[in-house]
Amino acid sequence: MTALLICLLGGLGAMARFAVDGAVRQRWATAFPAGTVLVNVSGSFLAGLLSGAALAGTLGGPAATAAVVGFCGGYTTFSTAMTDTVRLARDGSPLRALLNAAGTGALTVLAVLAGLAAAAPLS
């Protein structure tokens, strides 16, 4: 049952990523992949929040696993972030490429920590 839930939530996460990234691209048409960064940071925060809730015992194991692995896994996209980084470098924007790679890494780690901290009051 957990595997089926992971599949379902993974599909929903991927659809959410497509919608959020598309909305950001439509609103702010830039060469910098702001939509991908937003998706990865918000998904990392959610993964931290859900993981924190699971650690606190307020979210059951299979539900937390399905939500983090399924939804957050389908929603976030490290491969697209790194593809965007290579595209920026190849298009003559090595500084933007570096900022995208380093910034995405740093921001997503901070977002997970923020999610875990936000979940702490739940325990």
State whether the Cα torsion 50-52-55-59 is positive or negative.
Answer: negative
- Structural domain contains residue 24: no
Helix H segments across the chain?
A: 2-27, 34-56, 61-65, 73-75, 78-90, 94-119
Q: Which residues of the chain have pLDDT under 70?
A: 122-123
Whether 28 maps to a domain, the answer reads no
Q: Give the domain range for residue 65.
A: 2-8+34-122
Query: Residue 118 has which token pair?
Result: 């936000």
Task: Determine the pLDDT at residue 21.
Answer: 95
pLDDT computed for residue 123 by the predictor? 54
pLDDT of residue 122: 61
Residue 23 lies in a domain: no
Give the total number of structural domains in the chain.
1
Nearest to 97 by CA among 39, 42, 35, 32: 32
Question: Is 114 contained in some domain?
Answer: yes
Write the DSSP symbol of residue 120.
G
pTM: 0.91
With respect to residue 25, please indicate whether it lies within any of the assigned structural domains. no
Alpha carbon 65 to its chain centroid, in Å, reads 15
Enter the tokens of residue 46.
């959610």
pLDDT of residue 107: 97
What radius of gyration do the chain's Cα atoms show?
16
Residue 56 lies in a domain: yes
Examine residue 92 and state whether it is found in any structural domain, yes or no. yes
